[in-house]
Each structure stands twice: as structure tokens, then as C-alpha cells.
Amino acid sequence: MPCRRLPMLAATLPALLLMACGQPESTLSPAQEAALLNSSQQLADRFQQDLLAALKSAIAAGGPVGAIDTCTTVAPAIAAQLSDESGATVRRTALRVRNPASKPDAFERETMSAWIRGPVGSDGKPAERFQAYADEQGAPQVRWMRAIPTGDLCVTCHGSAIAPDVEAAIAARYPDDRATGFAPGDLRGAFSISWAGPAVAQALRKAG
């Protein structure tokens, strides 16, 4: 199988240039790849905006413990809605997860491992990775990720000095939690979006 550099757009992707080996070349045109990149970014933007709004509302109503309930129920619901609307698989993942369902696959782990020391690029934007390739049947496949740097709000439930009532709520819901000890600016996790076969065609039709 050929090995090639990933199709990256330097102006919008401050991530390091990664290599894609062992997979057939993409059958998509540069314009089609750009359209899927844009669609992926828009989905992640909506996910981030909707989840942040829900978290702020939950904290205002019930304090930080309310935010834990929001991450437990609302975040998966947002991901499911965006997946249903787009045909893509939309989710969040991390190297150190709170929810076991968020464990990374090999692509996600490799990508986030490369971002640990620099989740934000020189332009101040979170790092991104885009990879397009063809599966064994020649159908187009697209993977896209964006780093999630730890923000000031995040350390309330993911930092090193967590309030006792918040710690108790986390332990009750996530007994195997590994997602604490973060400081602002650390890589907390990533948005991950996968397009396969029919979802690629659907996204390209929407893009015009």
C-alpha cells in the first residue's frame, strides 16, 4: 500500500504533519476534501457551543455537581443528534477518560499522543488532523479530529483541587475515572468525527 502525507490545510490545521501509511490513497478531489473538512469543523463547533451552553446553565442551576450530570446525559445526546443529522460518527475522546465509552481507537490515540505537548498551534487555535483514504472496497473514508485544551471551567471537575462534593459525585458515577489532575492549557481530549461511505456522499451533496 502507498504511504503519503496527509492532506492538510496549513492555514487552518496547525497540527504537526502526520503520515498515513498502509492505506490506499484518497479517491476524493481536493475540493471534496475541503468540503468535508469544513463540515467536520462545523459539527465540532456546534458540539462545543451546545455543550458549553448546557454546562453553564447546569452550573448556574445546581453548581459543579450539576455539570457532571450534564456531561453524563447531555453530551452523549448532543453527539447522537449531530451524528443523526450528518450521517457521520461524532464524539469526544481522550487519553485519560472519565466515561469508558469515550476510550480512543488507534487513530485517536496516535493523534492525541502527538498533541500532548502542544494542543494549541502557533496561531492560537486548537490543533486539528484530517485524513482521507479509501477502504478495501475503494469507498472513501474520512477521519478528522480537533484538540480540546483544558479551559478554566474544565478544572472545576477535571483539575487537581476538586471540591469534596464534586469528587463524591464523580466517584459515584465514574468509579474508574482517570480524568483529573489537568491544568488550564493541557490537552483534555478531542472532538473526533468519522465519515464513511454513504455519509461522505451525503455531506458532499449538502455542501453543493
The three-state (H, E, C) secondary structure of 30-83, written as one string: HHHHHHHHHHHHHHHHHHHHHHHHHHHHHHHHHCHHHHHHHHHHHHHHHHHHHH
Q: Give the pLDDT of residue 26.
A: 84
Instruction: Give 40-96 pLDDT, tens digit per residue.
Output: 999 999 999 999 999 999 999 989 998 998 888 999 999 999 999 999 999 999 999
Instruction: Give 90-125 pLDDT, tens digit per residue.
Output: 999 999 999 999 999 999 999 999 999 889 988 899
Q: Give the pLDDT of residue 22.
A: 55
